[in-house]
Structure 1
Amino acid sequence: MEVINKMVTLLPNVEVLKIINETRARETKKKKHDQDSKLSTLLFETSSYLNQTPVASQNEEHFCKLVEVLKPVKLTQAEILQIANLRPSSSIELQLIIEDCEERIKTEEQLELKSLQCYHRWRQNLWTRAKQPTDRKRANTEYDRAYFGFVLA
């Protein structure tokens, strides 16, 4: 077996889900006999998994703004990507993601990251409790503006 297209870059789960949804849309437009059943299964399973994670309530703009918020902490690109994808909810999870966390990151920055974790936990809980998409968006917008000074998404 030969690798035809090498991996060029790492992608956040937000972009992966977008690509999967676009590919699924293209596949469903094809005639039934032209569709690849294995590809359809793979797309369905991956999409189902990603839709059960926090990425389901995010978009690319949200990821970009999260990167802006994390820039002052001086994390590596891989660490930022893992934080965006995994949404750590505890200090232990954060320390597993950030190499030499206690040595590299000041106490104030750790507190900032912990408050960001609390924010994402709160937002995810709110999102799952809200019954209507408009309720979710309104609550998220108000909290984002109060917390960050701008709206994440």
Structure 2
Amino acid sequence: MNKLLATLIAGLLATAAHAQTTTGANSAATTKAVVKAEAEATKDIAKAEQKEMKVAEKADKKVNKAVADATEKKDKAYDKAAEAHADAVEKVAKADPEDRAKAVAKAEEKIADAKLKADKKMIKADEKLLKTQVEAAADKATAAAKTDQVRAEATAEVQKAAAKH
């Protein structure tokens, strides 16, 4: 919104400054053509900036959703690992004294497997999150480049209008 406001104000000031500096018999036609070109340019730039803001907003929403999803998946993975750990510890506690060593070894194996599964799920969630963040950054950069192109084209049109007269 700030970019849009700044562009509109800059366009207004440029129009006012240009209108005050032109003089002569041909200045009325020149001023009209330039003012019209500047008005079109300002409108085109405003549209482009509005599109850019929409793209940025959509990209930010995507990233926020991905962060929430990743956090949820990580929490579930951690909870499953903790549950497996608790289950293994419980089995060790219930084991007979002569089977305790075997139960401890089994429990450690089960805990290690659960931790590995949880780590894999967390890594996958982070990978998906990072991919989404990169895509969002690319979308924003593309939108900014398109806005810059519209600005350049609009400036060129204003200069053409000024050069004609």
TM-score range, shorter chain: under 0.3
More helix by share: 2
Greater relative contact order (Cα < 8 A, sep 6+): 2
